[in-house]
Amino acid sequence: MADRLDAFLAHQGLGTRSEVRGLIRSGLVTVGGVVCRNHAEPLRGRPVTARGRPVVAGPEDATLLLHKPLGLSCSHDPAEAPLLESAYPPELAHLPIEPAGRLDRETSGLLVCTTDGQLIHSLTNPKRTIWKRYRIGYAGTLSAHAVERCAKGIALPDDDRPTMPALLELPGPGEATLHLREGRYHQVRRMIAALGGEVVRLHRDRIGALELPGDLPAGACRQLSPAEQAQLFAEPSPAIIVQ
């Protein structure tokens, strides 16, 4: 935890270093109950207020289970706003939370967002086999052998190797469920296009054996429990075996 006043305020999300220094210079910050204009003041455990409100040290890390709504971009580029980070709890604004993999702006569903780089690596490392389930609405007609083609692997334009074997289920007209164990750029949309359809709705509802909780509405997030984290790396049930 930062002990220097400007670093502490910036770390708690009150602004950039230069913005919080402006705040301090303006006499809007107290340390130990006394106005402090020294941006380098060491805190030594004393309470801090800014604009009359206590600034309390937030958590140092977080791992969130997020129900991504449609319309948010996973990018950090303000030009792409609204951004995924607008869905994170404001009290975690000081933390460098990243999504483990991305969903397109027009894809909804389960996303793990964390400060734990090792967890991100484990979830996105192509050498690991973590199944993800996508619920799809599509327009058009899929090729007669769509299921077999997914099971064998599909050649995608601009990709030098075919997709890994995947499981496609066709529960009804215009509806598909695709189980994938890799995460290439726009993979679901490109696979459905290669099969003759066009994705009109895309929602991810399972990673590993972890299902998107039915009581977590779109746009909401909460801490991922250790048991849920373990489920991310467990085989989904029923087991999916695609040769």
Query: What amino acid positions are annotated as catalytic residues?
Result: 104
Q: What are the angstrom distances between the C-alpha of 232 and each of 25, 111, 165, 225, 242?
A: 48, 11, 20, 11, 19
Q: Which residues of 114-137 are buried (b: 16+ CB within 10 A; e: fewer)?
A: bbbeebbeebeeeeeebbbbbbbe
- Tokens 């705040």: give the residue: 23
Q: Measured from the CB of residue 169, what is the shortest distance to ligand URA in angstroms?
A: 16
Q: Measured from the CB of residue 56, what is the shortest distance to ligand URA in angstroms?
A: 36
64 vs 192, which CB is nearer to ligand URA?
A: 192
- Is 186 one of the binding residues for ligand URA (CB under 6 A)? yes
181 vs 186, which CB is nearer to ligand URA?
A: 186
Instruction: Supply 42's token pair.
Output: 């060491």
Q: How far apart are CA 222 and CA 229, in angstroms?
A: 13
12 vs 73, which CB is nearer to ligand URA?
A: 73
The footprint of ligand URA on residues 85-144 (CB under 6 A) is 103-104, 107
- Is 179 one of the binding residues for ligand URA (CB under 6 A)? no
Q: Measured from the CB of residue 211, what is the shortest distance to ligand URA in angstroms?
A: 17
- Is 201 one of the binding residues for ligand URA (CB under 6 A)? no
- Is 188 one of the binding residues for ligand URA (CB under 6 A)? yes
Cis peptide, bond prior to residue 213, ω within 30 of zero = no
What phi, psi does 199 have (nearest 5°)? -70, 130
Collapsing DSSP to helix, strand or coil, 100 comes out as coil
Q: Measured from the CB of residue 192, what is the shortest distance to ligand URA in angstroms?
A: 8
Point out which span in 79-87, 147-155, 181-189, 213-221 binds ligand URA (CB under 6 A). 181-189
Q: Using CB under 6 A as the criterion, which residues of the chain lie in contact with ligand URA when the complex forms?
A: 103-104, 107, 186-189, 202
